[in-house]
Structure 1
Amino acid sequence: MKWEHALKDYQLYLKIERGLSKNSIDNYALDVKKFIGFLELHNISVSPINITSETVQQFIYEIAKTVNARTQSRLISGLRSFFNYLVFEDYRNDNPLELIESPKIGRKLPDTLSVNEINELIGAIDTKKTFKDIPIGIRDYAMLETLYGCGLRVSELINLKLSDLFFNEGFIKVTGKGDKQRFVPIVLSTQEFINVYLNEVRSRIAVQVGHEDTLFLNYKGKQLTRAMVFTIIKRLAQKIGLKKNISPHTFRHSFATHLLQNKADLRSIQLMLGHESITTTEVYVHVDNSHLAKTIEQYHPRKSQL
């Protein structure tokens, strides 16, 4: 079996059997491609069926010189998943990474913005800004209000459809990882911003074929890219002099953290974020320990004894 064939089959397995998104599949494939590149660089001619743990260990040792512990751990995890697939399909009897341990890393807490910083960022948008006679400032305002107000991933934001808007019911339908769908509440103010965008901006754009149902469009009438949303946010951060390193995902983390600070329960946050496991949502508990201390003070049944 050649590496290219094994990788192609593996990607198909991730898509069909595990239902992963294209971005996740690409990341898994990238881990394997880095390993293949290492083998080619060192003229190591061995198939994925016959490769030994010693060769894999050599790759891990070399890669550890150039990447941090977190990246190293992710590579090991990605390769372990690939070889688990080969074992599952009976191409191999063992996983060469079975005895290779990942480096110990601390749990990385998500970056967050305060409510004031969110207000500053969105408030810095020039709603009168136009490009090719299209008022893109209004679009950006509605877009970031939706990103934060609904706690969306950037991929979920750019893939939102007109047919996903259920304003009468107070919800939007979101397609998340693995094409799993969920309904997320949307407040009236965010609905109003979207309606303004629809009436004053989108209605003036010549929509391209295939994008008729796409909510947020660029001036050419096509779906926005992840990179474009990232650029918009970076420019706003520079505009207000924000020193934090932020991305579209920071809005999602901030959304969850602010809900938690306002006493929303983790289960509700989990459902809105579309996390399969509440363990993932529990990361946000560690963001604000002061909130937990206040909760104990206020609700502990024996607080008078503390």
Structure 2
Amino acid sequence: MQIPTHMLAIEIIDGLLQATQRATPKPTGKQVLIKVSAAGVNRPDVMQRKGLYPPPVGASDIPGLEVSGTVIAIGECVNHLTVGDAVCALVTGGGYAHYCLANEDLCLPIPHKLSFIEAAGTPETFFTVWSNVFDRGHLAANEWLLVHGGSSGIGTTAIQLAKAFGAKVVITAGSDSKCQFCINLGADAAINYRNHDFVAAIKKLTDNHGIDVILDMVGGDYLPRNINCLAYDGRLLQIALQNGIKSDINLLSVMLKRLIITGSTLRARDDDFKIAIAQKLREQVWPLLAVGVVKPIIHATFTLTEAMQAHRLMESSQHIGKIILTT
């Protein structure tokens, strides 16, 4: 097919998302050019729009960290993808556009039975959950995982993956309906943090054993409460800071309980790091997606030119699972 010289893209202007025309990028080296069918919306996109999360050096200023679509051109060093392949991909930016560049090794085949819309909701959350919960957190079968924000895209992914690998899952969420959704999805317990003290509830739930691994997107005043929740040798994984970047903690508890407190971001990591995660997902998670043991939860779709509405929905926190843009 003939590739147009220019494409529709969404750019950030004064804190808003606006449609524009950009030159269609050309793949070089290990890059492929994807004709985007759908793109996932993520909180880092919202932060970038607000000027709080600038793209890494060399990355596109167009927001969008995950896409699905069809490969329509390849760089000179591409060796396992061909024109016409249907893929989903983790990218460092550029997803909110009709065409997007991706490293071929960060492209994954679309699992059997998944639509382009569903596939666009997998890379960012599945890469993040696997890297943190399993690679950094070493979650094992029969251990307790606590997920704050259980109804988010990250949360719904973490619930399903943890259960698929034999762990026990408790989540927190901000409404009874969100809690019930997470229970229906497989969580063993759900706590409405607006109505209940999650620390006390978890101690009762686990017979004072505590939580082995916590995946936290809140930060701030949640840190000392998370420490109180953790079991001996527990691991706290910090992946976002919605309640702020600072907190006071009792370091004696960290020492006595032999806790590990760690954190990470994904976007700025180099391709080799991300490729290693992609290989593990291909081997251990994509077969689960192919048979429906786990699945992306899609809350709503918007057209590309409705990207600002999609961001407003994400900021309202009224969604469950993923928000997707379609082209």
Q: TM-score, normalised by structure 2?
A: 0.27
Task: Decide which structure has greater strand share.
Answer: 2
Pair member with larger Rg: 1
Q: TM-score, normalised by structure 1?
A: 0.28
Task: Decide which structure has greater helix share.
Answer: 1
